[in-house]
Amino acid sequence: MVRLERDGELFVLDLGDDENRFTLENNRAIASALDEIASAEGPRALVTTASGKIWSNGLDLDWLLPRPDEAREYILSVQEIFVKFLTLPVPSVAAVGGHAFAAGMMMALCHDFRVMRVDRGYLCVPEVDLGIPFTYGMSALLAARLEPQVAHEAMVTGRRYGATDALSVRMIDHAVELARVLEVSCELARPLAVKAGPSMGTIKQRLYGDVITHLRTLGPEPSL
């Protein structure tokens, strides 16, 4: 269950303790939480965490694949969550204490910074192995947030990156023991809270303008 808590200037968004896929219920809850954070006043920052061994396992394929007629609306709703994270007018840190796969990894990349568990867990976009092409928006997001050769390798090979490898290619910013993932994330986010505000939102919107355009539109062909 998605849960949002606030401690002074710090918002903590807990994605839950299961696979934390983009279910319809989770999508609504995450979008609502981000709207609340965006509309709050004063210094503030966001840390997104999860309680179990999986930070996010991506799209809810069990629900999606039998419903091709609903795929477009569903994927656009997920990509709108990416836009909300990407353009949030507050500093954001993903506290990745477990696996982040596919759209889950993309959501982590939509944060300003990432802290990852050093001993276990992977970042991976395995769409090539699943036989599911990336949407234009997903491709644009990965290309914008990763170094070109890293994006290429991740997307065409489906490589799994542990924290040490992810740190070496700048997918993440810190690799620490599990017990310190949330702590370090909060330590990173809290001093940045004073930078929150409309200017930060505008900077992000202009920085990722092309990505946002692609995320909010799908091509004429089905995405799955």
Contacts of 114 (CB under 8 A, 6+ apart): 93, 94, 96, 108, 171, 172, 173, 174
CB of 221 within 8 A of CB of 71? no
Alpha carbons 154 and 35: distance in angstroms, whole number = 31
CB of 117 within 8 A of CB of 163? yes
Q: Which domain holds residue 140?
A: 3-181+193-215
Q: Decide if 221 is inside a domain.
A: no
Q: Decide if 186 is inside a domain.
A: no
Give the pLDDT of residue 110: 98
Give the pLDDT of residue 213: 97
Q: Decide if 32 is inside a domain.
A: yes
Give the pLDDT of residue 222: 46
Confidence at 224, pLDDT banded by 50, 70, 90: low
CATH number at residue 104: 3.90.226.10
Give the pLDDT of residue 52: 87
> ∠61-51-25 over CA atoms, to 5°?
40
Is it the case that residue 221 has pLDDT exceeding 60?
A: no
> How many domains does one find in the chain?
1
Q: Decide if 203 is inside a domain.
A: yes
Alpha carbons 113 and 220: distance in angstroms, whole number = 33
pLDDT tens track for 23-70: 999 999 999 999 999 999 999 999 999 998 999 999 999 999 999 999
Instruction: Give the mean model confidence (pLDDT) for residues 96-101.
Output: 97
Q: Decide if 220 is inside a domain.
A: no
Give the pLDDT of residue 119: 92
pLDDT tens track for 149-180: 999 999 999 999 999 999 999 999 999 999 99
Q: Decide if 187 is inside a domain.
A: no
- pTM for the full predicted model: 0.96
Give the pLDDT of residue 203: 98
Alpha carbons 202 and 168: distance in angstroms, whole number = 30
Alpha carbons 117 and 37: distance in angstroms, whole number = 26
pLDDT tens track for 111-163: 999 999 999 999 999 999 999 999 999 999 999 999 999 999 999 999 999 99
pLDDT tens track for 193-219: 999 999 999 999 999 999 999 999 986
In degrees and rounded to multiples of 5, residue 4 shows phi and psi of: -115, 130
Q: Decide if 224 is inside a domain.
A: no
| Residue 53 burial by Cβ neighbours in a 10 Å radius (0-12, 13-18, 19+) | middle
Give the pLDDT of residue 189: 98
